[in-house]
Chain A
Amino acid sequence: MESRITFENVREAIEKLPMLSPNVSRLLQIMADEDYELDDVVNIVKYDAALTAKVLKAVNSPVFGLLNPVTSLDRAISYLGKWIVVSIILSDSTGDLFSRPLAGYEGQQNALWRHDLFAAFSSSEVARYAKQSFEKELAFTAGLLHDIGKYVFAPFWKQASGEALGRIEEGSVADYLAAERVLAGLDHAQVGYEMARYWEFPEPLQQAILYHHTPEQAPERFRALAYAAHLGDMCAMMAGCDTGNDGMQYQLDNGYIEYFELTSESLAQILLETEIQFKQAISSLSLEEEVDK
Chain B
Amino acid sequence: MSDIILGIGDYGASKNPGSMVKTYALGSCVAVTMYDPILHLAGMVHVALPESKINRAKSEECPGYFADLGVPLLFDEMVRLGCQRKGRGLIVKMLGGASVMAGNDTFNIGKRNVLAVKKILWTLGMGPVAEDVGANHSRTVSLYADSGLVTVSCPGRGQWQI
Contacts and interface: CB of A to CB of B under 8 A. Distances in A.
Interface SS of chain B: loop
A276 B58 contact: yes
Contacts of B8: 239-240, 275
Contacts of B26: 240
Interface stretch (A137-145, A181-189, A259-267): A259-267
Interface in A230-269: 234, 237-242, 244-245, 247-254, 262-265, 267-269
A234 B138 contact: no
Interface string A59-102: 00000000000000000000000000000000000000000000
B27 A265 contact: no
Interface in B107-162: 107, 109-110, 112, 136-138, 154-157
Given A272-B49, A275-B48, A263 B106 contact: yes
A244 B153 CA distance: 12
Contacts of B54: 265, 268-269, 272
B54 to A, nearest CB: 5
Contacts of B99: 248
A106 interface: yes
21 contacts: A165-B157, A237-B100, A238-B29, A238-B100, A239-B28, A240-B27, A241-B25, A242-B27, A247-B137, A248-B27, A248-B138, A251-B100, A251-B101, A251-B102, A264-B106, A265-B54, A267-B106, A268-B50, A271-B48, A275-B9, A276-B58
Interface of A: 105-107, 161, 164-165, 175, 234, 237-242, 244-245, 247-254, 262-265, 267-269, 271-272, 275-276, 292-293
Interface of B: 5, 8-9, 24-29, 48-50, 54-55, 58, 65, 98-107, 109-110, 112, 136-138, 154-157
